[in-house]
């Protein structure tokens, strides 16, 4: 498999239970963000349920708070909203080899949330991960694994054949920030460079 490293100054991932007002960010991207990145790289809609596997690990140096002016449709007045963002972020994607060509020359901008969260491809390398009992984090894992953590219902992929897009698959996940101390452990493919286990999602099965 290959590991694609993306880097960005900022990232923001919508907290699913907040629709207005204060906008917190999830600590890691939901699967739908990964779908968006792969679709942008390839230049056409990509559905995660059609991939043999995809894994990802995300980490950031911290969290900040931005003030954002918003315009409501049909109204002239504006409002100021507080929005959390993550800064100096890295996203590692674990993908089949054929994805290398798409990330060598991405068709569209790669975004980690909002249109201003532009990411660049920092590195593409082939990796071999051996299974090991390893800390897991910087990703989301299925609830059925029994890992303790905050649970959210997250969109896995959107259906882009209709306008506006609609959620095609939603699943409950445990959201795990990148481990900075004690973390749950699972027997997973181990990335010794990052020091974490990599959960490979296989929605095609």
pLDDT digits (tens, 9 = 90+) for 53-90: 999 999 999 999 999 887 777 777 778 889 999 999 99
CB 13 within 8 A of CB 26: yes
Residues 6 or more apart whose CB falls under 8 angstroms from that of 64 comprise 84, 85, 86, 87
Of residues 124 and 19, more confidence is placed in 124
Range 140-154 average pLDDT: 95
Using alpha carbons, list the distances in angstroms from residue 111 to 22, 71, 83, 126, 177: 22, 22, 17, 23, 19
Per-residue pLDDT, 71: 79
Range 32-37 average pLDDT: 97
Per-residue pLDDT, 26: 96
Per-residue pLDDT, 158: 95
pLDDT digits (tens, 9 = 90+) for 42-58: 999 999 999 999 999 99
- Matching residue, tokens 């629709």: 19
* Strand-pair partners of 14: 25
- Both structure tokens of 104: 């060598």
Per-residue pLDDT, 124: 98
Distance between CA atoms of 121 and 7, rounded to whole angstroms? 7
Per-residue pLDDT, 73: 75
Per-residue pLDDT, 69: 84
Range 182-199 average pLDDT: 94
What is the band of 18 on the pLDDT scale with cuts at 50, 70, 90? low
In 3D, which of 131, 154, 130 has the Cα closest to residue 143? 154
pLDDT digits (tens, 9 = 90+) for 5-16: 999 999 999 887
Distance between CA atoms of 169 and 49, rounded to whole angstroms? 9
Per-residue pLDDT, 144: 94
pLDDT digits (tens, 9 = 90+) for 192-202: 999 999 999 99
CB 171 within 8 A of CB 180: no
Classify each residue of 103-130 as buried b or exposed e, where b means 16 or more C-beta atoms within 10 Å of its C-beta: beebeeebbbbbeebebebeebeeeebe
């Amino acid at each position: 498999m290959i590991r694609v490293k993306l880097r960005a100054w900022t990232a923001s991932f919508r907290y699913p239970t907040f629709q207005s007002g204060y906008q917190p960010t999830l600590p890691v991207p939901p699967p739908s963000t990964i779908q968006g990145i792969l679709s942008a790289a390839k230049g056409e809609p990509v559905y995660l349920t059609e991939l043999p596997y995809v894994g990802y690990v995300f980490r950031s140096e911290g969290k900040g708070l931005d003030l954002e002016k918003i315009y409501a449709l049909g109204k002239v007045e504006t409002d100021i909203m507080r929005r959390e963002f993550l800064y100096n972020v890295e996203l590692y994607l674990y993908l089949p080899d054929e994805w290398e060509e798409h990330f060598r020359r991405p068709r569209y901008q790669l975004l980690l949330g909002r249109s201003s969260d532009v990411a660049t491809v920092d590195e593409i390398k082939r990796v071999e991960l051996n299974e090991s009992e390893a800390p897991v984090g910087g990703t989301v894992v299925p609830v059925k694994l029994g890992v303790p953590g905050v649970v959210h219902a997250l969109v896995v992929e959107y259906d882009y054949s209709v306008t506006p897009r609609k959620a095609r698959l939603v699943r409950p996940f445990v959201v795990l920030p990148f481990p900075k101390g004690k973390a749950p452990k699972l027997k997973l493919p181990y990335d010794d460079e990052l020091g974490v286990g990599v959960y490979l999602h296989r929605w095609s099965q």
